[in-house]
């Protein structure tokens, strides 16, 4: 399927070599690289990255995602300290941390999340930390700790509508993901929650409107909506390129529901320009 005219962003991997050298030196992963994000050059050149803790191998089999699947490795307990070193080197004021799903671990990776937030906040309590978390199997005990760990924003992506979950998000559950966002809000009413959707998987307009409504019901604060771009021919096939006007339509729908922040454009990803919600004062930390 030929890309339409509105997909014209240039990716220049040669310009972000300094960032990659620093990341390799600290033995760190980023979702920017693992997910083959089209915004990688823009972000790396601006010295911004979304750090991926707990390794680079996922225990789930989502067909839209390029993160590797296979035999997981042991947990690196020194990783949180190296993350904080990278944050300091880049002088970041807003940090996004994510991870692959680690169903193989008894705590689903919670301990490393908690240690990472602590290490960053030890640098400066003013640094804003956003966690883009897996579903932690919707375990209340784990989500209570995540919600009270000191992070400022907690994000969990629904990705798509319920009818496509069996094909697109194998191992995930739509209602369980909604429950994750709901539990976090119930535990810590002062925290901000966020979710993300990708379009072009075969979803219907009414289905996305219903998803937005479901997110509103669990008091989700922020929503990002972007275009799905298959990482390879082996991944879930692209069904449609969504016109920018349709992204504007969904943005208006989300605004009518009262979301505190909405980003809806073809190149938007869940952690793309994540700091912009803060800098535009859409919320107070």
Instruction: Write down the mean pLDDT value for the chain.
Output: 91
pLDDT at 285 over 70: no
Give the range with max mean pLDDT: 1-5, 64-68, 278-282: 1-5
pLDDT band (50, 70, 90) for residue 99: very high
A 10 A CB-CB count for 28 gives 18
User: What is the mean pLDDT of the segment spanning 183-202?
Assistant: 95
Domain layout of the chain by residue ranges: 27-279
Q: How large is the average pLDDT for residues 127-137?
A: 96
Please give the Cα distance from 163 to 252 (Å, whole number): 23
| Domain 27-279, CATH number (from 3.20.20.30, 3.20.20.70, 3.40.50.970, 3.90.45.10) | 3.20.20.70
CA–CA separation, 178 and 195 (whole Å)? 10
Residue 283 has pLDDT above 70, yes or no: no
- Using the predicted structure, report yes or no on whether residue 233 has a pLDDT greater than 80: yes
> What is the rounded average pLDDT of the residues 88-114?
94
Span of 26-40, 65-79, 267-281 with lowest mean pLDDT: 267-281
């Amino acid at each position: 399927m030929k890309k339409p005219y509105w997909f014209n962003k240039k990716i220049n991997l040669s310009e972000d070599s300094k960032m990659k050298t620093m990341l390799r030196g600290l033995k760190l992963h980023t979702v920017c690289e693992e997910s083959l994000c089209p915004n990688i050059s823009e972000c790396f050149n601006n010295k911004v990255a979304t750090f991926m803790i707990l390794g680079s191998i996922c225990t789930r089999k989502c067909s839209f995602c390029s993160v590797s699947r296979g035999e997981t490795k042991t947990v690196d307990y020194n990783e949180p300290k190296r993350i904080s070193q990278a944050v300091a080197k880049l002088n970041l004021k807003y940090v996004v941390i994510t991870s692959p799903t680690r169903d193989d671990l008894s705590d689903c990776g919670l301990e490393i999340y908690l240690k990472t937030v602590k290490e960053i906040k030890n640098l400066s309590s003013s640094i804003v930390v956003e966690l883009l978390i897996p579903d932690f199997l919707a375990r209340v005990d784990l989500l209570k700790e995540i919600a009270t760990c000191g992070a400022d924003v907690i994000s969990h992506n629904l990705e798509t509508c319920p009818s496509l979950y069996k094909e697109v998000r194998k191992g995930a559950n739509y209602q369980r993901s909604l429950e994750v966002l709901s539990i976090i809000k119930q535990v810590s009413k002062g925290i901000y929650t966020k979710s993300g959707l990708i379009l072009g998987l075969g979803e219907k307009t009414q289905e996305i409107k219903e998803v937005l409504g479901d997110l509103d019901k669990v008091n989700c604060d922020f929503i990002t909506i972007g275009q799905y771009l298959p990482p390879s021919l082996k991944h879930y096939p692209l069904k449609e390129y969504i016109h920018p006007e349709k992204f504007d339509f969904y943005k208006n729908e989300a605004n009518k529901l009262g979301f505190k922040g909405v980003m809806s454009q073809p190149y938007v990803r869940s952690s793309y320009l994540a700091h912009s919600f803060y800098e535009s004062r859409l919320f107070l930390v």
